[in-house]
Amino acid sequence: MAVQISPSILSADFARLAEEAAVVHNADWLHVDVMDNHFVPNLTLGLPVVEALLKATSTPVDCHLMIEDPDRWAPAYAEAGAGSVTVHAEAAKAPVRTLRQIRAAGARAGFALNPATAVEPYEDLLGEIDMLLLMTVEPGFGGQRFLDVVLPKVRRARSLIAAHGGQVWLQVDGGVSAETIERCAEAGADVFVAGSAVYGADDPAAAVQNLRDLAERAAR
Ligand code: DX5
Ligand code: ZN
């Protein structure tokens, strides 16, 4: 499994999104946090901004929907051209239908779990999922402290994924930095979201490269 880095534009300058996307030219994805002030206590951006960003960048866009009604909204992000669309287990009322609609619209289907949500009840859904996202902070804000309590779940998720053929990517999001990324890679994560650790750095592209090097070494 190849290491992939997905910088979160939540920590970028929202007034200069196209330039901020271009700065991380060596990233595999651009992670876009859609927050509705209901599922999480923060409000960011929605489909019109994602559509504008898609026109402004050639980097694949990884939409993380932290919204109350993902069943209603997720397919439109896939239809707009996002490469990956992730919905939360705690919010989706018809996840099988929604994940299938995301795939049918041509995007990878992601399924996210908050820190306190167990992975085992969703084992039978792994065939419907292209990426499992395990939150390593409570969702809502960038710059929070990494929650080590999630690491055993990362290991268990990696085992479940391996038992189901190993095709599903395992993403971690929240507090991922040069201090914490090796622990995540050792536990089995292969897609790493980093907001403040990338956009808070003097040289965001160098930060992406450093995170990639650390994760690749730890995964070996
Ligand atoms: C938090 C978001 C994250 C956030 C991560 O709810 O889902 O993607 O941008 O930010 P850092 O890497 O600063 O913890
Ligand atoms: Zn996110």
What pLDDT does residue 1 have? 73
In short, whether 41's Cβ falls inside 6 Å of ligand 1 is: no
- What is the rounded average pLDDT for all residues in the chain? 98
Task: Check pLDDT > 90 for residue 22.
Answer: yes
Reported as type and span, the H/E element at residue 187 is helix 181-187
Residue type, 118: A
In short, whether 207's Cβ falls inside 6 Å of ligand 1 is: no
Catalytic residue among 33, 36, 62, 190: 33
Q: What's the mean pLDDT in 189-194?
A: 98
In short, whether 88's Cβ falls inside 6 Å of ligand 1 is: no
What pLDDT does residue 2 have? 93
Of the candidates 86, 136, 73, which has an alpha carbon nearest to the alpha carbon of residue 112? Answer: 86
The strand pair at 30-35 and 4-7 is best described as unpaired
Buried b (16+ CB within 10 A) or exposed e, 82-112: bbbbbbbbbbbeebeebbebbbebebbbbbb
Ligand 2 centroid to Cα of residue 193, in Å, is 7
Hey, how many other C-beta atoms are within 10 angstroms of the C-beta on 48? Answer: 9
Query: Rounded to whole angstroms, how far apart are CA atoms 139 and 42?
Result: 9
Digit-coded pLDDT (tens) for 106-131: 999 999 999 999 999 999 999 999 99
Give the whole-number percent of the chain exceeding pLDDT 70. Answer: 100
Q: What's the mean pLDDT in 47-51?
A: 98
Q: What's the mean pLDDT in 126-137?
A: 99
173: annotated active-site residue: yes
In short, whether 31's Cβ falls inside 6 Å of ligand 1 is: yes
What pLDDT does residue 148 have? 98
Ligand 1 centroid to Cα of residue 161, in Å, is 24
Give me the phi and psi of 9, to 5 degrees please: -75, 0
CATH code: domain 4-219 is 3.20.20.70
Q: Which ligand is nearest to the CA of 143?
A: 1
Catalytic residue among 28, 130, 173, 190: 173
Ligand 2 centroid to Cα of residue 186, in Å, is 21
Instruction: List the beta bridge partners of residue 133.
Output: 112, 171
Digit-coded pLDDT (tens) for 55-112: 999 999 999 999 999 999 999 999 999 999 999 999 999 999 999 999 999 999 999 9
Give the whole-number percent of the chain exceeding pLDDT 90. Answer: 99
Contact of 189 with 170, CB cutoff 8 Å: yes
What pLDDT does residue 72 have? 98
Q: What's the mean pLDDT in 137-163?
A: 98
